[in-house]
């Protein structure tokens, strides 16, 4: 290997001394050589420690750069002279224009030594700041190489057996013998013989069917000792990339110092008026903030307060109805069904049920004598005693519906199966119901507690003046208004509910008034005779609240329902008033005063004269009526005078809708939207909006089992409950699904007859469900079905509005299509009836052809004359 000799001469004029200060340096080159702008160096450990560039400590392979000051290098060369490691590059260091030189740690000995010194400024900048363009060109080159890669189609290779086909063959099922074939045919003498079928219930006897229940056969319970499983492993692939550009690391630090006012500035600001004015202006807000800090509960768990769901903290959210309690009396509920259920309006935990015989019409006729000896009852149940009823209301006949008076809950009105209306007054037994709620601590006599008192009815309407069919629905009018004889709403000065409405399938809706009629002036002898009459004995202690109505009570308005477009009348089963007291939540009304608790004094009230009554225009007189034929009728109860006879007649219904197949068993309004009505009948239900005549805004699909009853939720606008004939309840949530129930739960083995909800407290909502077997189930509504969000009411309202717009759009399209269809039919009819022109006679055709030929000849002669090709002589000769 050759050695390179380099002569270094200091700058200046050396013409007089040729060999003055000449250094002869021997440099061992690297195998590959090095660029001219660097010089490899060998630095001893002392030099490395002196300049802070110790290998693998101060400089590493990841951070190989070190900037050395030019002054330090010159000082080292002066101090140590030729012993200095930088003496070979003395002149180059002196000629370097900048103050710092770059020393690079060459860990891999690329240029033959462990260090090399960069001798030019341009090279130093290129090393410390690599060009981005080069990296970008390299990335583009790599991308082009990736794009040039063409995927190859996998080539097929011959099958190499590893023994798996033998396992597959062993696991496969093969036939060990030929299959058996059987031919089954009836006896020849029975072929073609006549067959007679008849109807019979499967429950009459077990000989009509064969039951094959499933059972566990121990001979086939084989314990699995070995199991063959197959596992296929696949390698996981992962693609990762980075776009990080290498930059020279820099050490950066920041130091903060607080700026403070001087003592003179502090005194100046404390004495300034601006500061005093500012403190005065924010003093009140500052005091309020301090008060809030004192009032705030520091021990409150904010996460629990922010959590809306009670089960979110535990991770368990209940969605099913839980049975809270059930009521059934062994004597009064035996072989009976529950026809109606109603919660007590003011006493929580008390519920009343109407018990009726579970008989058909033919069976009632056959057992009429037995039914007269066994009166029907309305039972009052309380949660403290699920075995014994707390109160019994005696009824003249089976009661199908009843309701508490909204102004006085001690007054109850019910509709019987024979068409009569019954009134009860339970004012004397209110303390018993309230004491049972507290556990019976105030009841002194234990015998009175165990024996259920029986309350007889105060008054009953006359059979000849009432309904001719069973009363299926009854509702009180609110205490805010009453009706005149013409059906006009007028102001109720007494603020006591004194009127109620009933309906029955006898094609009429009746309005009743509890007040005695206006007294006609009597003679002195009649007054004297009445004063001398002795009062009748009252051995049963029946209150005289409605003594004036007993057996003489009759309706003051009779609204008939004539059919639209045909003869006959509709048969109502259920109805709903816009301003009613049925659909409002129970327990929301305040307790009545002491006078109303003791008795409203209905006997002292009188019907005011027509002059004293003030009409109320904001009360709607329209009502929806559900009929036996599945129709929904929208009518007005106002009466109109006939011009000829002067009698008061009912107006014809406004609209009639047919959506249900059979009788309508529910017509109820939403407690949140007074114009939204829910109807249930046969196998479907529908939601209507008052004022929309196009049809229901929501119609359910037909169910496999009949739907028997429906009821709105009192706490959530989007939830309602539907009872079915198989004993299950469908819970519909319009925020989740509109085509199917959100959940369905089985409650009983018999048909559901009635559903009622009650709000005991904010954390306890109960659902009362009665069945056809006479059992009353009290279910606890879960949190998800009773807690309403802040925007749920607005969301449901918008949904109803969108459905209304959909109906209007559908009706417009239907009218457009019908109009287009009529136009097409008229066009086809016009084409068919268009007269066919008669064929012309042959002579007429020849005459027309000859006339046209003569016109052609005359035209030809005129053209020839104008062109000079025909003379007059030729023309005359032709003539």
Residue 1 reports pLDDT greater than 80: no
pLDDT tops 60 at residue 736: yes
Burial of 288 per CB tally in 10 Å (0-12, 13-18, 19+): exposed
- What pLDDT, in 10s, does the model give residues 812-852? 999 999 999 999 999 888 887 765 445 556 778 888 889 99
Coil, strand or helix at 479: coil
CA triple 414-777-440, angle to 5 deg: 80
- Helix H, strand E, coil C: the string for 831-852 is HHHCCCCCCCCHHHHHHHHHHH
Q: Do residues 579 and 675 touch, judged by C-beta distance below 8 A?
A: no
Rounded to whole angstroms, the Cα distance separating 766 from 703 reads 26
Q: Write the pLDDT tens digit of every residue in 208-255.
A: 667 777 877 777 777 777 888 878 777 778 888 777 676 677 777 788
**What pLDDT is recorded for position 684?**
94
Q: What is the pLDDT of residue 205?
A: 60
Residues 355-410 have pLDDT tens digits of: 999 888 788 877 777 777 788 899 999 988 888 899 999 999 999 999 999 999 99
- Residue 118 CA to residue 577 CA, distance in Å, equals 101
Q: How far apart are CA 750 and CA 770, in angstroms?
A: 9
The model's confidence at residue 475, banded by pLDDT at 50, 70 and 90, is very high
| pLDDT tens profile 97-152 | 888 888 888 888 888 888 888 888 888 888 887 644 455 555 666 555 555 556 67
Cβ–Cβ < 8 Å for 484, 608? no
Contacts for 290 with CB less than 8 Å, ≥ 6 apart? none
pLDDT at 2: 38
User: Which 8-state DSSP code applies to residue 615?
Assistant: B
> Which has the minimum average pLDDT: 3-17, 40-54, 82-96, 799-813?
3-17
Average pLDDT for residues 788-810, to the nearest whole number? 92
Q: Give the Cα separation of 87 and 44 in Å (integer).
A: 13
Q: Give yes or no for residue 52 having a pLDDT over 60.
A: yes
DSSP annotation string for 224-277? --------------------PPP----------------HHHHHHHHT-HHHHH
Give dist(CA 215, CA 270) in Å, integer: 96
Residue 354 forms beta bridges with which residues? 340, 378
Residue 102, CB-side half-sphere exposure with 13 Å CA sphere? 20
C-alpha 745, offset from chain centre = 18
**pLDDT, tens digit (0-9, with 9 covering 90-100), for 609-647:** 766 778 888 888 999 999 999 999 999 998 888 777 778
- Is the model's pLDDT at 506 over the cut of 90? yes
39 pLDDT band, cuts 50/70/90, is confident
pLDDT band at 874 (very low <50, low <70, confident <90, very high): low
Give the pLDDT score at 502. Answer: 96
pLDDT at 505 over 50: yes
Query: What is the number of other CB atoms lying within 10 angstroms of the CB of residue 153?
Result: 5
Long-range contacts, stretch 735-744, CB < 8 angstroms, 24+ apart: 735/792, 735/795, 735/796, 738/698, 739/701, 740/701, 743/319, 743/320
| SS3 (DSSP) at 763 | coil
Average pLDDT value for residue range 417-433: 92
> What percent of the chain has pLDDT above 70?
81
Q: 545: closest CA among 588, 501, 602?
A: 602
Query: In this structure, are residues 341 and 350 in contact, taking their beta carbons and an 8 Å threshold?
Result: no
Q: What is the DSSP letter of 652?
A: P
> Are β-strands 391-395 and 454-455 bridged in parallel, bridged antiparallel, or unpaired?
parallel
| Residues 501, 633: Cα–Cα separation, whole Å | 16
Q: Which residue has the higher pLDDT, 655 or 529?
A: 655
pLDDT at 717: 94
| Three-class SS state of 136 | helix
pLDDT band for position 594 (50/70/90)? Answer: very low
Q: Is 60 exceeded by the pLDDT of residue 307?
A: no
If you average pLDDT over every residue of the chain, what do you get?
81
The predicted structure's pLDDT at residue 793 = 93
Please report how the helices 283-295 and 273-281 are oriented relative to each other, as an axis angle in degrees rounded to 10.
40
Q: What per-residue confidence (pLDDT) applies to 565?
A: 83
pLDDT at 140: 62
The predicted pLDDT at position 14 comes to: 42
- 334 and 774 Cβ atoms separated by less than 8 Å: yes
Q: How confident is the model at residue 10 (pLDDT cuts 50, 70, 90)?
A: very low
> What burial class does residue 597 get, using C-beta atoms within 10 Å of its C-beta: 0-12 exposed, 13-18 middle, 19+ buried?
middle
Nearest Cα to Cα of residue 422 among 392, 372, 391, 456 = 456
What pLDDT shows up at residue 143?
59
Predicted confidence at residue 145, as pLDDT, reads: 56
pLDDT of residue 141: 60
Beta carbons within 10 angstroms of residue 855's beta carbon: 10
pLDDT at 120: 86
Least confident interval from 535-539, 778-782, 840-844: 535-539
Contacts of 335 (CB under 8 A, 6+ apart): 357, 358, 774
| Closest among 41, 45, 57 to 103, alpha carbons compared | 41
Give pLDDT, residue 559: 93
3-class DSSP state for residue 755?
strand
- Bridge partners (DSSP) listed for residue 648: 641
pLDDT at 687: 96
What pLDDT score was predicted for residue 208? 62
Reference 115, options 75, 71, 74, 59; nearest CA is 59
pLDDT at 265 over 50: yes
What whole-number distance in Å separates Cα of residue 529 and Cα of residue 524?
A: 9
Determine the pLDDT at residue 161.
83
Number of neighbours of residue 659 by Cβ within 10 angstroms: 19
pLDDT at 575 over 70: yes
Higher pLDDT, 527 or 22: 527
Question: Which alpha helices (H) appear in 415-557, and where do they start and end?
Answer: 430-437, 446-450, 524-532
Q: How far apart are CA 768 and CA 49, in angstroms?
A: 93
Segment 753-775 mean pLDDT: 92
Top pLDDT among 608 and 747 is at 747
Least confident residue range of 317-321, 709-713, 763-767, 839-843: 839-843
Q: Which residues contact 152 (CB under 8 A, 6 or more apart)?
A: none
* Residues counted in the chain: 879
The confidence score (pLDDT) of residue 231 equals 80
Render pLDDT for 311-359 as a digit per residue (tens, 0 to 9). 444 445 678 899 999 999 888 888 899 999 999 999 988 999 999 998 8
Please state, as a whole number, how many other Cβ atoms lie within 10 Å of the Cβ of residue 599: 17
**Three-state SS for 323?**
strand
For the chain, how long is the longest CA-to-CA vector? 174
């Amino acid at each position: 290997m050759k050695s390179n000799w380099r002569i270094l001469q200091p700058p200046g004029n050396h013409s007089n001394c040729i060999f003055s200060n000449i250094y002869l340096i021997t440099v061992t080159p690297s195998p590959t050589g090095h660029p001219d702008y660097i010089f490899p160096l060998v630095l001893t450990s002392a030099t490395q420690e002196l300049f802070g560039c110790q290998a693998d400590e101060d400089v590493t392979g990841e951070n190989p750069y070190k900037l050395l000051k030019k002054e330090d290098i010159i000082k080292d060369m002066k101090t140590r002279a030729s012993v200095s490691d930088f003496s070979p590059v003395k002149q180059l260091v002196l000629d370097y224009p900048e103050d710092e030189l770059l020393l690079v740690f060459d860990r891999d000995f690329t240029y033959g030594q462990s260090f090399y010194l960069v001798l030019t400024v341009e090279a130093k900048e290129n090393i410390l700041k690599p060009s981005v363009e080069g990296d970008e060109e390299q990335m583009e080159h790599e991308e082009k190489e990736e794009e040039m890669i063409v995927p190859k189609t996998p080539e097929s290779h011959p099958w190499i057996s590893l023994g798996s086909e033998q396992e597959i063959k062993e696991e496969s099922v093969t036939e060990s013998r030929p299959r058996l074939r059987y031919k089954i045919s009836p006896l020849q003498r029975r072929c073609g013989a006549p067959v007679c079928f008849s109807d019979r219930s499967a429950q009459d006897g077990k000989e009509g069917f064969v039951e094959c229940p499933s059972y566990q056969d121990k001979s086939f319970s084989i314990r699995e000792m070995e199991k063959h499983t197959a596992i296929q492993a696949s390698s996981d692939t992962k693609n990762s990339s980075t776009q990080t550009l290498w930059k020279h690391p820099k050490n950066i630090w920041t130091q903060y110092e607080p700026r403070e006012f001087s003592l003179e500035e502090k005194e100046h600001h404390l004495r300034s008026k601006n500061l005093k004015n500012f403190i005065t202006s924010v003093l009140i807000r500052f005091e309020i903030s301090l008060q809030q800090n004192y009032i705030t509960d520091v021990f409150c768990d904010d996460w629990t307060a922010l959590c809306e769901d009670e089960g979110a903290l535990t991770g368990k959210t209940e969605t099913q109805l839980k049975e809270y309690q059930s009521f059934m009396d062994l004597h009064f509920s035996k072989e009976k069904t529950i026809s109606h259920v109603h919660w007590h309006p003011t006493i929580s935990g008390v519920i009343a049920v109407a018990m009726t015989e579970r008989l058909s019409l033919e069976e009632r006729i056959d057992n009429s004598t037995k039914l007269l000896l066994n009166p029907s009852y309305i039972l009052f149940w309380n949660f403290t005693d699920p075995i014994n009823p707390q109160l019994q209301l005696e009824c003249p006949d089976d009661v199908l519906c009843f309701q508490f008076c909204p102004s006085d809950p001690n007054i109850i009105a019910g509709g019987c199966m024979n068409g009569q209306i019954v009134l009860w007054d339970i004012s004397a037994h209110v303390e018993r119901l309230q004491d049972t709620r507290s556990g019976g601590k105030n009841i002194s006599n234990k015998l009175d507690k165990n024996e259920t008192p029986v309350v007889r009815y105060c008054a009953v309407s006359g059979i000849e003046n009432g309904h001719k069919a069973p009363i299926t629905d009854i509702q009180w009018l609110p205490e805010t208004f009453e009706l005149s004889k013409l059906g006009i709403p007028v102001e109720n000065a007494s603020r006591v509910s004194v009127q109620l409405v009933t309906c029955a399938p006898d094609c009429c809706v009746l309005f009743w008034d509890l007040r005695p009629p206006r007294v006609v002036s009597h003679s002195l002898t009649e007054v004297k005779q009445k004063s001398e009459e002795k009062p009748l004995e009252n051995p049963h202690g029946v209150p005289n609240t409605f003594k004036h109505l007993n057996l003489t009570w009759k309706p003051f308005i009779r609204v008939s329902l004539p059919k639209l477009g045909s003869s006959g009348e509709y048969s109502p089963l259920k109805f709903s008033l816009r301003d009613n007291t049925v659909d409002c939540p129970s327990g929301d009304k305040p307790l009545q005063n002491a006078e109303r608790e003791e008795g409203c004094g209905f006997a002292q009230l009188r019907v005011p004269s027509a002059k004293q009554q003030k009409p109320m225009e904001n009360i709607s007189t329209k009502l929806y009526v559900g009929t036996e034929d599945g129709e929904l009728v929208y009518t007005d109860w106002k009466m109109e005078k006939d011009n000829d006879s002067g009698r008061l007649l009912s107006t014809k219904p406004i609209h009639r809708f047919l959506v249900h197949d059979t009788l309508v068993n529910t017509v109820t309004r939403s407690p949140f939207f007074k114009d939204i009505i829910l109807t249930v009948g046969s196998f479907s239900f529908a939601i209507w909006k008052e004022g929309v005549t196009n049809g229901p805004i929501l119609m359910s699909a037909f169910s496999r089992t009949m739907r028997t009853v429906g009821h709105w939720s009192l706490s959530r606008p989007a939830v309602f409950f539907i009872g079915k004939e198989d004993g299950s309840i469908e819970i519909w949530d319009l925020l989740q699904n509109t085509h199917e129930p959100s959940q369905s739960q089985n409650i009983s083995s018999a048909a559901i007859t009635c559903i009622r909800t009650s709000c005991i407290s904010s954390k306890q909502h109960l659902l009362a469900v009665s069945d056809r077997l006479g059992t009353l189930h009290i279910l606890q509504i879960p949190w998800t079905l009773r807690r309403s969000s802040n925007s749920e009411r607005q969301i449901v309202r918008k949904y109803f509005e969108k459905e209304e717009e959909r109906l209007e759009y559908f009706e417009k399209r239907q009218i457009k299509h019908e109009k287009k269809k009529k136009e097409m039919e008229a066009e086809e009819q016009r084409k068919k009836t268009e007269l066919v022109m008669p064929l012309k006679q042959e002579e007429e055709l020849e005459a027309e052809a000859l006339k046209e030929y003569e016109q052609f000849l005359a035209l030809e002669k005129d053209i020839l004359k104008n062109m000079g090709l025909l003379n007059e002589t030729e023309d005359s000769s032709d003539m």
